[in-house]
Structure 1
Amino acid sequence: MDWVSIFPVGLLFILMLLLILKRQHVWKSHTKGNFPPGPRRLPIIGNLHIMDMKRPHLTMLELSKTYGPVFSIQMGPRKMVILSGYDTVKEALVNQADAFAGRPKIPILEETGKGKGVIFSDGENWKVMRRFTLTTLRDFGMGKKAIEDRVVEEYRCLGDTIEAQQGKPLEITLMMNAAVANIIVSILLGKRYDYEDPTFKKLLTLVHENIRLFGSPSLSIYNMFPVLGFLLKDHKTFKQNVKEINAFIKVTFIEHLKVLDRNDQRSFIDTFLVRQQEENGKANGYFHNENLTAVVRSLFAAGMETTSTTLRWGLLLMMKYPEIQKKVQDEIEQVIGSNPPRIEHRTQMPYTDAVVHEIQRFANILPVNLPHATTADVTFKGYFIPKGTYIIPLLTSVLHDKSQWEKPDMFYPEHFLDANGKFVKKDAFMPFSAGRRVCAGETLAKMELFLFFTSLLQRFTFHPPPGVSISDLDLSPAISFNIIPKPYKMCAVSRS
């Protein structure tokens, strides 16, 4: 019997022992300096015993009912402050943006990324890399017609691949990941891949698996207690996957270096390498290979996974609510007809735009956001929060805030429509987070979501497979760092 197989039994024994100790001695909430209140904690594990490790956001939502919109929990040795509800999250991320713009150190990411890149880095490194990333993405067409043309090319390829199935049941995860990934890959590498390219498929699989692993209870426990690594296996798989992704990126930028022309920069990597040469020999420079690898890896993952996941939720919801699917198709016929969807059509299609926004709100794919940290001591809502405190802005509490949404727990496109059927923006629509750490690819993601979704519903009607009724369609998510739909099959019936 190996350690991995006996670990659950051992953990259960430790928890039982600690629950016995609870009767004799319980850690009280950290109240020094008026720290936010929270549930009583056990020695060593803190509040681990009350957390749903598969769905921690659900436990946090329940706790907010008792302790209010600002409260604390302890996961292992780490104290966290949870921010719940639209008003509270906005106050922190927007009104006090600088104070809440840090990133905490997460063991598995420190070991694999060394605090480099743009998404999980902090301090001056983060500022330099984010500024470079935003500028370079814009230079390569993010939000412009050049990148829109690439999305149009890609949604045609995806549509043709789906049509080749001739309405037979298909599982769309890999091809959807490939189609969406090709957009960010065209910027990062200056090329696109065929969906069946073995290297591309391997990359997609590695990234997809790591995002699933990052939300697993096993990796969460590892991040709290790295010393228990010998009992766990998921962190080893995660590290090996990162190693393989890094190897691909390194080979790629070496190839780009061989033909680099500073007067003809064809990709994000080219632009980074030019800056690297300009900084050559400069002390404390930021344009080194570790940052290049980390930035490319994180942009590839973020640029693929969130948009692809949202679109897969969208198609599942269209099968679940065929009357909404029909209304979208009616609007497509009325406004676009058989012409290729373009971003200019969005303002003429309020219902479709509302449906896309509601898919994002309802799917709620990053319920706990990415973690933040305070960059200085801060007094917030009457509480003292020290510098470096781990902050969780609970996005699910914003996207399902009863004070902001008429039917927060239902799929209801009318959340984004006024009485006259015109599209209405909502301040509490924060799927991309807000403030200093707002998603760098938000503009690109919005374009992709509208164009891919509209083009798919223009070409196909989506049905459950034979033998599966609408009531059988399961909207409960799979276990992952982000909220992804459970694997499902669908039939895409051509409308031509």
Structure 2
Amino acid sequence: MFNQSNITLTCVFIFTLIAIGVYRRRIRPPGPWGLPFVGYLPFFRKNPPRKCTQLAKTYGDIFCIQLGSWPTIVLNSRAAIREALVEQSDTFSDRPAFFSCKVVNNMRSLGFGSYNARWRLHSKIASTVLREFASPNKPTTEKIIMMEAEKLTEYFLENTHTPFDPHEEIFLSVGSVVYQICCGMDKDCRNDKGYLNLIKNTKTMQEFAGAGNPIDVMPWLRYVIPSKATRFVEILQTLMVSTDAIMKEHIETFDQKNLRDVADGLIFAEKKYCRNPTKNQEITKSDIFSTLQDFLGAGFDTSSSTLEWIILYLGHYQHIQEKIQKEIDSVIGTRSVSLDDIGKLPFTEATILETQRISPVVPIGIPHATSKDTVLRNYRINRGTVVLCNFYGTTRDSKVWKDPEIFKPERFLNDLGFINSSLENELLTFGAGRRRCPGDFIAKMELFLFLVNIFQKSYKIAIERRIQTKK
């Protein structure tokens, strides 16, 4: 028979086992099993964001998967993303040592660089320069956007008689805005070989990267399919040659008393910070000049893709298109739209927000990594863990968005007909935390001015032609 001492020891043993089980569950977030060597990769198929959203229904808004050689956590709600990227920003702002990150300026670039004191200074310099030359308060910024918006509208009007694909012209026009802000507004971009080469190389890189780089998560593949790694390096080097040529041209004509654009701003910053590298976190000329490549690479695709989605949705939902047109007619009339009109066209702005929600152009952001061991919601996350933010999943959260699969711009309006700022803040279009996109204000200006300009100048003509055709 058991005596009191034996019973006590047995109870202690049972409770210890339970405690160990609970502790183990807290070490690693729950998640699905994967396969040897490749992990969960084969199960993603063609739509990883949607698959992650489905997995979140089973495992919660923080779950763990194995991506090839890398243990990975996926954050699937706005709350989880903010808890990591904002509340523990220093811990969750690193980048994984992927092959693609390493070859981009040896992990010292703004977009793919390791998170440390040098990167924080680099980020501060980049944001300051961009704000200096692209601020909404600078008339040149609005002038550049309006000029390109008018060119795009003219292209639409010239092709209203037959069906056409606007993709190339939208990409060219939106990209031209960023290029002129960075390299000078006196550029005739459509006849600028440097710009056209940059456009070509950027599209090549996007197409290559869009297909995914399996070498990032399975580094041993470099020895199995070396051509994949070689091709990535070749494309990157071509892009670097383009931006190096731009910087060289600006250095030759640089005048400290007359800073013309972002490239000049970076040259000025290099002279300020690189003369005393020990004092300034060992930041180098190469680090600062590489910022131009980050700005140009990030500024081309996201805004142009969003504008394409807006045009696609409004082509499908004629009643929403007509409502936007009535708002523009009643508020702006025949005068030219300006940045001062932001806030005066709430339904138009709500349509932009709804497009960004239902069709996020960056459904899963650039991978983050943890810089040290940490705890997130009682789960232990080891240093070097890859962190994926499923922004697509946040836009399909039925607790936040009623009927999330339906395109409804009015969801962003409050009872008074103005933008519901609290709901707008639920969107993480431009990321969160220290790695948030520094050029978000440019994208907002572009989308507003491009959309209103297109509708104001082309809608009525299209309607008139449709009426004439019916007659």
Tell me if the contact between 1:328 and 1:352 (Cα under 8 Å) persists in the aligned partners.
Answer: yes
Q: 2 CA distance for matches of 1:412 and 1:342? A: 26
**Which residue number corresponds to residue 25 of structure 1?**
none
Q: How does 1:235-246 map to 2 (within 5 A)?
A: 235-246=229-240
2:199 maps to amino acid = L
Q: 2 CA distance for matches of 1:97 and 1:283? A: 26
Tell me if the contact between 1:193 and 1:200 (Cα under 8 Å) persists in the aligned partners.
Answer: no
Tell me if the contact between 2:110 and 2:294 (Cα under 8 Å) persists in the aligned partners.
Answer: yes
Q: Does 1:41 align with 2:39?
A: no
* Alignment counterpart, residue 157 of structure 1, candidates 151, 154, 162: 151
- Name the structure where helix makes up a greater proportion of residues: 2
Aligned length: 438
Q: 1 CA distance for matches of 2:125 and 2:466? A: 43
Across the aligned residues of Structure 1 and Structure 2, the Cα RMSD in angstroms comes to 2.7
Q: Does 1:438 align with 2:436?
A: yes
Q: 2 CA distance for matches of 1:275 and 1:59? A: 44
Q: 2 CA distance for matches of 1:241 and 1:31? A: 44
Q: 2 CA distance for matches of 1:74 and 1:463? A: 54
Q: Does 1:93 align with 2:85?
A: yes
Q: How does 1:103-118 map to 2 (within 5 A)?
A: 103-118=95-110
Q: 2 CA distance for matches of 1:110 and 1:245? A: 16
SS across alignment from 2:327? helix
> Once the two structures are superposed, what CA deviation does each residue of 1:20-69 show, in whole Å capped at 9, x if it has no partner?
xxxxxxxxxx95861112112332222223222x3211221121111111
1:188 maps to amino acid = C
Q: 2 CA distance for matches of 1:442 and 1:46? A: 35
**Which residue number corresponds to residue 376 of structure 1?**
372
Q: 1 CA distance for matches of 2:152 and 2:376? A: 48
For structure 1, list consecutive stretches of 5 or more residues without a partner in the other structure.
Answer: 1-29, 465-490
Larger mean Cα displacement after TM superposition, 315-324 or 87-96:
87-96
* Alignment counterpart, residue 205 of structure 1, candidates 200, 205, 212: 200
Q: 2 CA distance for matches of 1:492 and 1:287? A: 59
Q: 2 CA distance for matches of 1:140 and 1:44? A: 47
Classify 1:196/1:170 alpha carbon distance in 2 versus 1 (closer, same or farther; 3 Å): farther
Q: How does 1:214-363 map to 2 (within 5 A)?
A: 214-217=209-212, 219=213, 221-229=214-222, 230-231=224-225, 233-279=227-273, 282-283=276-277, 288-363=284-359
What is the TM-score of this pair, normalised by structure 2? 0.86
Percent of residue pairs bearing the same amino acid type = 26
2:195 maps to amino acid = F
**Which residue number corresponds to residue 16 of structure 2?**
none
Q: Does 1:73 align with 2:73?
A: no
Tell me if the contact between 1:86 and 1:401 (Cα under 8 Å) persists in the aligned partners.
Answer: no
Tell me if the contact between 2:396 and 2:405 (Cα under 8 Å) persists in the aligned partners.
Answer: yes
**Which residue number corresponds to residue 180 of structure 1?**
174
Larger mean Cα displacement after TM superposition, 145-154 or 253-262:
145-154
Classify 1:277/1:97 alpha carbon distance in 2 versus 1 (closer, same or farther; 3 Å): closer
Larger mean Cα displacement after TM superposition, 141-150 or 452-461:
141-150
Q: 2 CA distance for matches of 1:347 and 1:70? A: 36
**Which residue number corresponds to residue 456 of structure 2?**
458
For structure 2, list consecutive stretches of 5 or more residues without a partner in the other structure.
Answer: 1-22
> Once the two structures are superposed, what CA deviation does each residue of 1:347-404 show, in whole Å capped at 9, x if it has no partner?
1111101001111111111111121122332211110112222111211111221111
Q: 2 CA distance for matches of 1:492 and 1:257? A: 52
Q: 2 CA distance for matches of 1:199 and 1:256? A: 13
1:152 maps to amino acid = M
> What is the CA-CA distance between 1:279 and the residue it aligns to?
4.5
SS across alignment from 1:195? helix
Q: 2 CA distance for matches of 1:493 and 1:177? A: 27
Q: Does 1:401 align with 2:397?
A: yes
**Which residue number corresponds to residue 124 of structure 1?**
117
Q: 1 CA distance for matches of 2:122 and 2:174? A: 23
Larger mean Cα displacement after TM superposition, 38-47 or 67-76:
38-47
1:39 maps to amino acid = P
Which stretches of structure 1, 4 residues or more, deviate above 6 A after TM superposition?
Answer: 491-495
Rg larger in structure: 2
